[in-house]
Structure 1
Amino acid sequence: MLRMADPLGEPDASPLQGDAAAAKAEVGEALAFVADELGKRGEAAGGDAQAVLEAQALMAQDPSILDDVHAQIDSGVNAERAVYTAFKSFQDILAGMGGYMGERAADLGDVAQRIIARLRGVSAPGVPESDTPFVLVAHDLAPADTALLDLTKVLALVTRDGGPTSHTAILARAKGITAIVGVSEADKLSDGDVVVVDAAAGVVVTDPTAEQVADAEQRRVERLAAASAPLTPGTLKDGTLVPLLANLGSPKDAAAAVELGAEGVGLFRTEFLFLDAPYAPDVASQKASYKELLEAFPGKKVVVRALDAGADKPLPFLTDKNEENPALGRRGLRALRHHEEILRDQLTALAQADAETEADLWVMAPMVADLEETVYFVDLARELGIRTAGVMAEVPSLALMADQVLTSADFVSIGTNDLTQYTLAADRMLGTVAAYQDPWHPAVLRLVAQLGAAGKAAGKGVGICGEAASDPILAVVLVGLGATTLSMTPAALADVRAELLGHTLDEARAMAQAALAAPSAAAARAAVASVSSAS
């Protein structure tokens, strides 16, 4: 393994030498250089990475930060120190906000590092170069570096910092990189150490035995073979069909998902149309984006989630300000009901796009708690021309009321990220409780089982659209619990497809029962591994 170089040291506080105007000009050139570099890296990376890097480029040109830098230089602070202090001030504000904005604080810190490096005339800290493949270990990895990792050299990624929703984790999943983030013991690893990164088990094995290394190499070969195997529908070994769908955040990601074998879309996030906007987009602009998406999947199922704002995605025109605990506040459908005109416009745009395309459109509401909320959404959706309307199971109460909910909803889709958060009372944006954010926990799986049983009794589909479906072994367990479709980041499709082919439905059910009987997430993994190896 190789460690990433530590960040640049904090600039000294020596007074400005020379002309303030010249220092400001140097800072302006550095800002422009970094913004341009990040933009070019985004274009090269494409997909989710491009959006992340473009956001970083905007950070580099934020007028509020620049004003602060100029004010400090005018007061006699040297340019490097002024940049460091200004960005650090904004970084601390974001970190204090927590949630989605807190996760973005690291991105701001990376931008500052790149600007200071430009001012010093040195290279910004980055991924080490090597002639041979290696495991990369870092405090954290900047989006600009994660997006352009050479996958022929970087076998896996281990970071000390970051949570499940950090950009490091998001981009690693999107690129199919074996990665474990938030490893507190990562600082104890040194260059040249031999390690095995087992993302499936969530552990880093130090000083592995020859047998452990050989097993890891064999699993890597099998994974590469699965990725290059012919594209086929998701199927268990006994022929049971399990459609494999893609989670997408923009219409431009559709083509890549199709190439990787997506049989449709299980979760289309519509937030990209609303975030960073001063007001909600009109029907016409929304329709154009939805139509672009639907046209990429003729005859295929496309599940669109109504706007999921609130908590880590606040919107000034929709969500409440200064909520003490926004994850438990007015978010998802709760916020949309409070501003029904926004929901009506979105459903109208979706219905219009559906009428002009050949995809099979399904629409679902986020953050639904019970039958009353389900009836509200389904009735409104049908009034506005949506043919298939369902709800997301993210709140434990919905799982407990699933038999009632499915008398109204056409389907249920389980968002395992939030369902885990609310079941285990652990903020999924908070790295300090990341260990609780584990969908393998039997409490979460029991709720999934209850939803699966209710779906079977009602003759309606129960899909999985959370990150849990990206875990190949857990995907089999979820099918054993009653999931009828699995939706995931497109990079995970090949691994999940290959794993499903290794098990029958009876075996999946036996694995599920073993997980349900376990006392903890770790025990559930171990129990399933035991049952799987014996079958």
Structure 2
Amino acid sequence: MELQGFGVGTRVAVGEVVRMPDPLPVPADERAKGDADAERERALAALSATARDLQVRAGDLEGSAREVVEAAAMMAGDPSLADAVSERTAQGKTAERAVYEALDAFAETLRGMGGYMAERATDLSDVSQRVIARLLGVPTPEVPVRDEPFVLVAHDLAPADTAKLDLSKILALVTRDGSPKAHTGILAAEKGLPAVVAVKGADELHDGQRVIVDAGRGVVVADPSHEQVAEARAEIERAAAIAAAPLEPGALADGTPVQILANVGKPADGERAIELGAEGVGLFRTEFLFLDTDTAPSVEEQTKVYTELFTHFAGKKVVARVLDAGADKPLAFLTDVHEPNPALGLRGLRVLRENEQILRDQLQALVAAGEASGAEVWVMAPMVSDAGESAYFTALARELGVRVAGSMVEVPSAAILCEQILETSDFVSIGTNDLTQYTMAADRLLGSVAAFQDPWHPAVLRLVQSVGAAGAATGKRVGVCGEAAADPALAVVLVGLGMHSLSMAPPAFAEVRAALKGVTLEQARAKAKAAVAASSAHEAREAAANA
């Protein structure tokens, strides 16, 4: 039996299913039998204990995993949450019901904001489960612990769950809900873990059942035949051999160079990227310093953290994206969380122009970090729409000492007008996640429209082609920093469309290098031409494969 979903990465795994325990049932909406004050104290004590427990767990983690669990701890300890719970116990509700209602109301508000904030709603649901479990005196539904490696199957995974995954035991992830660009998919890409999300029929899988998880095809094969298992194991061995190959700069079979760069989000990512052969950084997401804070970090704070990352890349290129606030990353001190459609509102460079001092401070810190580390720092602006915006950003960057200033191509207007933008930008980099979202009018975090979030769609590829043509006409460098570059077959097509560099999560390096090494520039262009001429994403894949 084959179950279809949306794959993350290209890897394959074979193993037995271990299901995530089902969530605790919603507490009954009934009056408390005891005193309202006693219920309030019970609830607040459970909230406080949960916050402490999460903080202790965070102390055993590193990097993004630590940040995720620390954020959950802060939510559990939020005074406004305690007030909301107290209001409900005063109305006669049980501690369990009061906690559930208060956290569900907070989560519903976040879900209504969409994007990044909708993702945080999952954190609140996880906190709710933990607090209610403590009140009931039962175990929290968590990732199971097993001695043998297994395939984890769940409705979805909260960030606190994914942060604690023991990667020596997890062979693959399968979820009923979610989207390839949501939290579980992002973690799988970062760790090189095969994953298939939004799988119809995932609830039918049971503990101990053997499955093949084929992320490349977006398929979960239940009860596979001996022949299917043999084929899967051969693919696993092939991938392992590629991963063990000597590290070399990216290049096509005819010697045409293609820079293989890393997408990173924090200093801790640098060492791993270098280990896997990063030739530099193609996308440094700087937002991590600005999230979950009431004020922008100082120039000194930013300089210190940026230098920590850049030091790993002394003598190499590091492309830093200035703060991309708004839409899925609203900031209390910078953006309006009440915008009716924040994805189309004041975000990226638009909001930075309205708050120029924050942009000036960040550019100053990036320049200082580059000088301190010896890295070759390039800086780019997010969500550039036209040449006027690129001219503004480049002029300000030059004023503050930036040597190489570029623009991101994430909206169709920037792709269409790319030649104009390159007249005032030193380079451009395509963010395929957003470019696909805006081209196809499909929220990249929304599982129900995941089928439209496919960078193989010819509409998206034609916009990439336009960017490649603009780069050729102006003699300037163009690249891709969206996760589309992590698809080996698509990476070949992107190079055929004129891209000079590809940036991705480091675990994808080996497969992409191998795919590029197997074609000449002429062959890559032929595959790109065939894909662009197709009428659907599925046809584009097939056309490229057969060209």
Contact residue 49 and residue 171 of structure 1 kept, 8 A: no
For residues 367 and 419 of structure 2, the distance between their equivalents in structure 1, rounded to whole angstroms, comes to 28
- 1:384-399 mapped onto 2 (5 Å cutoff): 384-399=400-415
Structure 1 pair 130–270 and aligned structure 2 pair: CA distance change class (3 A): closer
Deviation, 1:179, is 1.0
For residues 200 and 418 of structure 2, the distance between their equivalents in structure 1, rounded to whole angstroms, comes to 39
Contact residue 48 and residue 174 of structure 1 kept, 8 A: no
| Residue in 1 that maps onto 2:386 | 370
| Residue in 2 that maps onto 1:310 | 326
SS in 2 for 1:197: strand
Report sequence identity in percent.
61
Deviation, 1:401, is 1.4
| Residue in 1 that maps onto 2:362 | 346
- 1:426-465 mapped onto 2 (5 Å cutoff): 426-465=442-481
| Residue in 1 that maps onto 2:11 | none
SS in 2 for 1:475: helix
| Residue in 2 that maps onto 1:4 | 20
SS in 2 for 1:518: coil
Question: Which region of structure 1 is more displaced relative to structure 2, 91-100 or 436-445?
Answer: 91-100
SS in 2 for 1:474: helix
For residues 417 and 23 of structure 2, the distance between their equivalents in structure 1, rounded to whole angstroms, comes to 50
Contact residue 34 and residue 60 of structure 1 kept, 8 A: yes
Structure 1 pair 503–196 and aligned structure 2 pair: CA distance change class (3 A): farther
Contact residue 301 and residue 361 of structure 1 kept, 8 A: yes
SS in 1 for 2:283: strand
Structure 2 residue 257 is the aligned partner of structure 1 residue 241 = yes
The letter for the 2-side match of 1:85 is E
Question: Which region of structure 1 is more displaced relative to structure 2, 428-437 or 198-207?
Answer: 198-207
Structure 2 residue 496 is the aligned partner of structure 1 residue 480 = yes
Structure 2 residue 91 is the aligned partner of structure 1 residue 103 = no
TM-score (structure 1 length as normaliser): 0.93
Structure 1 pair 130–347 and aligned structure 2 pair: CA distance change class (3 A): closer
Contact residue 246 and residue 264 of structure 1 kept, 8 A: yes
Deviation, 1:272, is 1.8
The letter for the 2-side match of 1:69 is V
SS in 2 for 1:39: helix
For residues 389 and 466 of structure 2, the distance between their equivalents in structure 1, rounded to whole angstroms, comes to 19
Structure 2 residue 156 is the aligned partner of structure 1 residue 140 = yes
Structure 1 pair 420–105 and aligned structure 2 pair: CA distance change class (3 A): same
For residues 226 and 40 of structure 1, the distance between their equivalents in structure 2, rounded to whole angstroms, comes to 39
For residues 144 and 333 of structure 1, the distance between their equivalents in structure 2, rounded to whole angstroms, comes to 31
- 1:289-328 mapped onto 2 (5 Å cutoff): 289-328=305-344
SS in 2 for 1:391: strand
- 1:221-236 mapped onto 2 (5 Å cutoff): 221-236=237-252
Higher relative contact order (CA 8 A, sep 6+): 2
Contact residue 389 and residue 409 of structure 1 kept, 8 A: yes
1:92 to 108, 117, 120: 108
SS in 1 for 2:268: helix
SS in 2 for 1:429: coil
| Residue in 2 that maps onto 1:336 | 352
Contact residue 69 and residue 159 of structure 2 kept, 8 A: yes
Question: Which region of structure 1 is more displaced relative to structure 2, 55-64 or 10-19?
Answer: 10-19
Question: Which region of structure 1 is more displaced relative to structure 2, 132-141 or 380-389?
Answer: 132-141
SS in 2 for 1:296: helix
SS in 2 for 1:104: helix
The letter for the 2-side match of 1:452 is G
Question: Which region of structure 1 is more displaced relative to structure 2, 183-192 or 134-143?
Answer: 183-192
Contact residue 369 and residue 395 of structure 1 kept, 8 A: yes
Structure 2 residue 374 is the aligned partner of structure 1 residue 355 = no
TM-score (structure 2 length as normaliser): 0.91
Structure 1 pair 492–35 and aligned structure 2 pair: CA distance change class (3 A): farther
Deviation, 1:335, is 1.3
Structure 1 pair 36–219 and aligned structure 2 pair: CA distance change class (3 A): farther
Question: Which region of structure 1 is more displaced relative to structure 2, 317-326 or 434-443?
Answer: 317-326
2:143 to 123, 127, 133: 127
Q: How many equivalent pairs are there?
A: 531
SS in 1 for 2:467: helix
The letter for the 2-side match of 1:73 is T
Structure 1 pair 492–127 and aligned structure 2 pair: CA distance change class (3 A): same
CA deviation vs aligned residue, 1:142-190 (integer Å, no higher than 9, x gap): 2232223333443221211122343222222222111122224323434
Contact residue 4 and residue 127 of structure 1 kept, 8 A: yes
The letter for the 1-side match of 2:245 is A
Deviation, 1:131, is 5.3
Q: Which sections of structure 1, spanning at least 5 residues, go unmatched? A: none
Question: Which region of structure 1 is more displaced relative to structure 2, 500-509 or 333-342?
Answer: 500-509
2:88 to 72, 86, 105: 72
Structure 2 residue 82 is the aligned partner of structure 1 residue 82 = no
The letter for the 2-side match of 1:93 is T
Deviation, 1:482, is 1.4
The letter for the 1-side match of 2:215 is A
Structure 2 residue 268 is the aligned partner of structure 1 residue 252 = yes
SS in 2 for 1:356: helix
1:504 to 504, 517, 520: 520
SS in 2 for 1:486: strand
Structure 1 pair 493–31 and aligned structure 2 pair: CA distance change class (3 A): farther
Q: Which sections of structure 2, spanning at least 5 residues, go unmatched? A: 1-16
For residues 445 and 207 of structure 1, the distance between their equivalents in structure 2, rounded to whole angstroms, comes to 37
CA deviation vs aligned residue, 1:310-361 (integer Å, no higher than 9, x gap): 1111223333452221111121111112222222222222223333331111
Contact residue 68 and residue 163 of structure 2 kept, 8 A: no
For residues 295 and 317 of structure 2, the distance between their equivalents in structure 1, rounded to whole angstroms, comes to 30
| Residue in 2 that maps onto 1:169 | 185
For residues 156 and 410 of structure 1, the distance between their equivalents in structure 2, rounded to whole angstroms, comes to 41
Structure 1 pair 196–520 and aligned structure 2 pair: CA distance change class (3 A): farther
The letter for the 1-side match of 2:92 is G
Task: Please report the RMSD computed on the Cα atoms of aligned residues, expressed in angstroms.
Answer: 2.2
Question: Which region of structure 1 is more displaced relative to structure 2, 260-269 or 284-293?
Answer: 284-293
Structure 1 pair 62–252 and aligned structure 2 pair: CA distance change class (3 A): same
Structure 1 pair 179–58 and aligned structure 2 pair: CA distance change class (3 A): same
Question: Which region of structure 1 is more displaced relative to structure 2, 430-439 or 298-307?
Answer: 430-439
CA deviation vs aligned residue, 1:208-259 (integer Å, no higher than 9, x gap): 4544333222222222333333332223333332221111112232222222
CA deviation vs aligned residue, 1:443-484 (integer Å, no higher than 9, x gap): 111111221122123222111111111222222221222111
CA deviation vs aligned residue, 1:50-81 (integer Å, no higher than 9, x gap): 21111111111121112222333344322222
Contact residue 14 and residue 78 of structure 1 kept, 8 A: yes
Structure 1 pair 84–175 and aligned structure 2 pair: CA distance change class (3 A): same
Structure 1 pair 295–261 and aligned structure 2 pair: CA distance change class (3 A): same
Deviation, 1:392, is 0.4
The letter for the 1-side match of 2:402 is I
The letter for the 1-side match of 2:351 is A
For residues 296 and 279 of structure 2, the distance between their equivalents in structure 1, rounded to whole angstroms, comes to 31
SS in 1 for 2:173: strand
| Residue in 2 that maps onto 1:39 | 55
Contact residue 123 and residue 160 of structure 2 kept, 8 A: no
For residues 408 and 317 of structure 2, the distance between their equivalents in structure 1, rounded to whole angstroms, comes to 16
| Residue in 2 that maps onto 1:489 | 505
1:158 to 168, 174, 193: 174
